[in-house]
Amino acid sequence: MLEVRNLNVFYGKSQALRDVSLRVNEKEIVALVGSNGAGKTTLLNTISGLLRPTSGSVEFLGTRLDGLAPHKVVQLGICQIPEGRKLFTDMTVGENLEMGAYASQAWKRRRETLERVFQIFPALKERQRQPADKLSGGERQMVAIGRGLMSSPKLCMFDEPSYGLAPKLFSEVLEVIKRLREQGITIFLVEQDVRHTLEIADRAYVLENGRIVLEGKGKDLLQDELVKKAYLGI
């Protein structure tokens, strides 16, 4: 579904990604793990069209993404749930959700899609007229995920969904992610919480200093000595 080949990305003279290659197959949960500053968000922003690579390519369902505007990437079927949620705090929950359906085709189906979001997050239906800045951290994460789903994505990319959440709430988010995969949505999950992420991932990649240094099945990487030492404290 998603194919990244030999991607190189710079911020000015500083190189953030070095020859990164990975793939995400349909209906998989694929994880990208690594420490702060490894380049994880840079990769997501490049896939989404927010950053331009210096070289390499990104393909989604056979279409080249590198060079496309972000709204075109969304129209092709990719959504990104950003780190820190990035809600419009002066708008209501309902208005935030509708912003996710901004693309013309999604806008036509927004009422139907909204009902599906409310099935996943019943609490949001009760709070749809509530200002977003009055929500708890867990509720804000629900809105951020729901807003992404309003675009009817084929591939949903999560950037650090554990950010600012208690462990119990993050576990609930991971359960939602598994449910989305069961509904046919492919997941690309970027996280610092290595243990819990690898437990649910079909496959995973480890990113260090802008390079992919390991790849394999999620549960296999949990047993890898480098992962144990560097990320699990074992």
What CATH class has 2-77+154-231?
alpha beta
What is the rounded distance in angstroms from the CA atom of residue 96 to the CA atom of residue 105? 18
Beta-carbon contacts of 95 under 8 Å, excluding residues fewer than 6 positions away, are 88
pLDDT of residue 73: 95
Place 180 in a pLDDT band, splitting at 50, 70 and 90. Answer: very high
Could you read off the pLDDT of 2-24 as tens digits, one per residue? Answer: 999 999 999 999 999 999 999 99
Using alpha carbons, list the distances in angstroms from residue 125 to 32, 84, 149: 32, 22, 15
| Per-residue pLDDT at 104 exceeds 80 | no
Contact 189, 146 (CB under 8 A): no
CA atoms within 13 A on the CB side of 179: 13
For 198-211, the pLDDT digits (tens) are 999 999 999 999 99
CATH 3.40.50.300 residue ranges of the chain are 2-77+154-231
How far lies 21's CA from each of 55, 104, 120, 189, in Å?
12, 32, 33, 16
36-40, 93-97, 108-112, 229-233: which has the minimum mean pLDDT? 229-233
